[in-house]
Copies of this chain bind each other. A is one copy, B any other.
Amino acid sequence: MKAIQLYYPPEWAHCYGCGYLNPMGLHLKTYWKAEEGHSETRFTPSPHHTAIPGFVYGGLLASLVDCHSTATAAAAKAHAEGLDLETHPLRFVTASLKVDYLRPTPLGPELVLVGRAKEIKGKKVVVETELYANGEVTVRGEAVLVQITGGFGQENNAPKGG
């Protein structure tokens, strides 16, 4: 199975979180699980991704939710409209991001993010995410994503974020 981010055209693949062309980035990879109707991103933080020692930095957790949500939006819209990302690449950016830290996330284990599209309407998708550590949900996220179709930062594409 090919990660959703690997379908992004090169000009949209420089993201620090998930761009395959960013040599310094996190290279997050999200997969669409058609049978379950949800997406999945797995990432193991590095030792320096610390909040208080022993726990994962909240800014990194927000970053994981961010890129995971943009990819989920692309996959969910493609699935809903019967599009093949290979021939119809979709790229979303973040208009708003909400992250609830339900409990401290232990630093060490692989983290698993599961995402579902709550709403798909035109160029807007709302994605809900649960982030698991050791099988327990430690973070919930909700992101509003907007599809970009032209240049990023053009007036017809604002507002947008990361």
Contacts and interface: CB of A to CB of B under 8 A. Distances in A.
Contacts of A161: 51, 58, 61, 99, 101, 104-105, 139
List the number of copies, as a whole number.
2
A2 interface: no
Contacts of A67: 59
Given A52-B12, A96-B99, A98-B98, A57 B17 contact: yes
A60 B58 contact: no
B16 A162 contact: no
A119 interface: no
Interface residues of A, number: 53
Contacts of A76: none
Contact of A152 (B14, B51, B158): B51
A115 interface: no
Contacts of A101: 93-97, 159-162
A48 to B, nearest CB: 4
B104 A158 contact: yes
A11 B60 contact: no
A24 B15 CA distance: 20
A148 interface: yes
Given A99-B97, A100-B96, A50 B22 contact: yes
Interface in A34-61: 46, 48-61
A25 B40 CA distance: 27
Nearest to A99: B97
